[in-house]
Amino acid sequence: MTQPQTRPTAVAAPAPKPASAPRAVMTGAFLEVRNLSVKFPTDDGVVSAVNGMDFTLERGQTLGIVGESGSGKSVTSQALMGLLKGTSAQVTGEALFQGKDLVTLPEAGMRQLRGRNIGMIFQDPLSALHPFYTVGHQIAEAYLVHNKATKKQARAAAVDMLGRVGIPSPDMRFDEYPHHFSGGMRQRAMIAMALICEPELLIADEPTTALDVTVQAQILDLMSELQQETNSALILITHDLGVVAEVCDDVLVMYGGQCVESGPVDEIFYNTRHPYTLGLLNSMPTLTTGSGKLNPIPGQPPSLLALPQGCIFSARCEYAALAGDGVCESQRPQFTSEDGHGTRCHLSGPQILSIRNSR
């Protein structure tokens, strides 16, 4: 089922391989995630936040991860960044970054990779900026980690980057503390801090959600520009399908901690195969739709304390009845992939399409 790839692309690997698959078959992907799972033991029970994620990513590519709130986007990125090490979280599976497994890599090795090779932009900017140091100092320090430079050169680089992310009078702002910055400016400062390291892999968790569209456009342009300059890989987590359509090469749709559909961006938008992705696309107003009723997905996401036995989406899926024999309620569908476009559903892409056309 594995197709030879005609171009580097971030797609879910085919059916989950056994976690014990020998390393020797490593495809040499820049980032290869296999059967990644994260569980959090809590007082109420075990929260299964991520449940067997598989995907690969090559340099120069942008992978968008979309899904509802609570679907496991942030936890996936935290696992990749090694931020769950030393917590109660149970992380299993593999995440091979240039051959190194980020899941088992000790904290010391992880710390070396972070900042230098892998950068992260967090959903919450306050968590990344230290309140006791000036914004400029923190960005300059980040620059010095991977550049041999004088303090003066580092300052100049930091001022330049602050300007590029759209902070007015960056030279003056350099010496201010995070609490002097507005929320949007803090977000931009954090983006500057991540970008100045020119990481090979940048994981950006809702980097522009809190920003105005005009600033968002500036920041997205800047991220693409720097990505092209450094040929880095970008994982962009967002719930904004517009942002995905604009900047991503590939898309991975998450639901209940699983990847339910993945593939090249045009495939996901124009040849949608999974009922959840269809629901997501249908519920969204667009700049061109009229003012009729929107079509929200009925119901709510499943409890991660007790995932359903069958398809995780079955309680809300309008196609479930059409799959027959209650198979959706009783059996978890496998992830299957064809031509780099994968889906986790008992119905095939063509079946979904013919049902849609017959309505």
Partner 1 sequence: MEQQPILQVENLQKHFPIKTGLFAPGGKRTVKAVDGVSFSLERGTTLGLVGESGCGKSTTGRMIARLMDPTGGRIVVDGVDISQLGGRDLYHFRRKVQMIFQDPFASLNPRQSIGTAISAPMVAQRITPQGGLKNRVKELLEQVGLKAEHYNRFPHEFSGGQRQRVGIARAISLNPSVIVCDEPVSALDVSVQAQVVNLLQEIQQDTGVSYIFIAHDLSVVRHISDQVAVMYLGKMVEQGSRDELFDNPRHPYTRALLSAVPLPDPRQARAQEKIRLRGDLPSPANPPSGCVFRTRCPLFTTLGEEQKQRCVGEVPVQAAAGSPACHHSTLAGALAAGVQ
Ligand X SMILES: Nc1ncnc2c1ncn2[C@@H]1O[C@H](COP(=O)(O)OP(=O)(O)OP(=O)(O)O)[C@@H](O)[C@H]1O
Task: Point out which span in 20-28, 80-88, 187-195, 344-352 binds ligand SF4 (CB under 6 A).
Answer: 344-352
Taking Cα atoms as reference points, which of 269, 274, 273, 242 lies closest to residue 256? Answer: 274
- Sequence-distant (6+) residues with CB within 8 A of 282 are 295
The C-alpha angle 323, 327, 328, rounded to 5 degrees, equals 75
- Sequence-distant (6+) residues with CB within 8 A of 199 are 115, 116, 117, 118, 119, 232
44 scored as a contact of partner 1 (CB under 8 A) = no
218 scored as a contact of partner 1 (CB under 8 A) = yes
Between 22 and 168, CB nearer to partner 1: 168
224 scored as a contact of partner 1 (CB under 8 A) = no
Question: Rounded to an integer, what distance in angstroms lies between the CA atom of residue 330 and that of residue 87?
Answer: 34
342 scored as a contact of ligand SF4 (CB under 6 A) = no
Between 73 and 155, CB nearer to partner 1: 73
* Residue 266 interface partner, choices Mg ion, ligand SF4, partner 1, none, CB cut-off 5-8 Å depending on type: partner 1
Spell out the alpha helix ranges (H) of the chain.
73-80, 107-116, 135-146, 151-164, 170-173, 183-195, 213-230, 241-247, 265-270, 275-282, 320-323, 327-330, 349-357
Q: Which of 101, 141, 240, 338 binds partner 1 (CB under 8 A)?
A: 240
72 scored as a contact of partner 1 (CB under 8 A) = no
Q: Running DSSP on this structure, what letter comes out for residue 109?
A: H
Site residues (vs Mg ion, CB under 5 A): 74, 123
Q: Which of 199, 222, 323, 341 binds ligand SF4 (CB under 6 A)?
A: 323
81 scored as a contact of partner 1 (CB under 8 A) = no
Site residues (vs ligand X, CB under 6 A): 40, 42, 47, 49, 67, 69-75, 123, 239, 304
Q: How far is the CB of 74 from ligand X (least distance, A)?
A: 3
Between 72 and 170, CB nearer to ligand X: 72
Largest CA distance in the chain: 70
Q: Running DSSP on this structure, what letter comes out for residue 169?
A: S
Between 36 and 352, CB nearer to ligand SF4: 352
* Residue 81 interface partner, choices ligand SF4, Mg ion, ligand X, none, CB cut-off 5-8 Å depending on type: none
Residue 343 β-bridge partners? 261, 336
- Sequence-distant (6+) residues with CB within 8 A of 277 are 253, 260, 261, 268
Site for partner 1 in 160-199 (CB under 8 A): 166-168, 184
Burial of 189 (0-12, 13-18, 19+ CB in 10 A): buried
59 scored as a contact of partner 1 (CB under 8 A) = no
The 113-132 site mask, x for binding partner 1 (CB under 8 A), equals --------------------
**How many Cβ atoms sit within 10 Å of the Cβ of residue 115?**
17
**Chain centre distance of CA 320:** 28
Question: Rounded to an integer, what distance in angstroms lies between the CA atom of residue 253 and that of residue 71?
Answer: 9
Between 24 and 287, CB nearer to partner 1: 287
Q: Which of 201, 319, 341, 342 binds ligand SF4 (CB under 6 A)?
A: 319
Q: How far is the CB of 47 from Mg ion (least distance, A)?
A: 14
241 scored as a contact of partner 1 (CB under 8 A) = yes
Q: How far is the CB of 68 from ligand X (least distance, A)?
A: 7
**Chain centre distance of CA 8:** 18
* Residue 74 interface partner, choices Mg ion, partner 1, ligand SF4, none, CB cut-off 5-8 Å depending on type: Mg ion
Between 67 and 119, CB nearer to partner 1: 67
Instruction: Quote helix, strand, coil % in the chain, to nearest 5.
Output: 35, 20, 45
Question: Rounded to an integer, what distance in angstroms lies between the CA atom of residue 308 and that of residue 287?
Answer: 36
Question: Rounded to an integer, what distance in angstroms lies between the CA atom of residue 311 and that of residue 317?
Answer: 9
Binding site for partner 1 (CB under 8 A): 68-69, 166-168, 184, 212-218, 220-221, 239-247, 265-266, 269-270, 279-281, 283-287, 289, 291, 293-297, 300
Residues near ligand SF4 (CB under 6 A) are 275, 311, 313-314, 317, 319-320, 323, 328, 333, 345-347
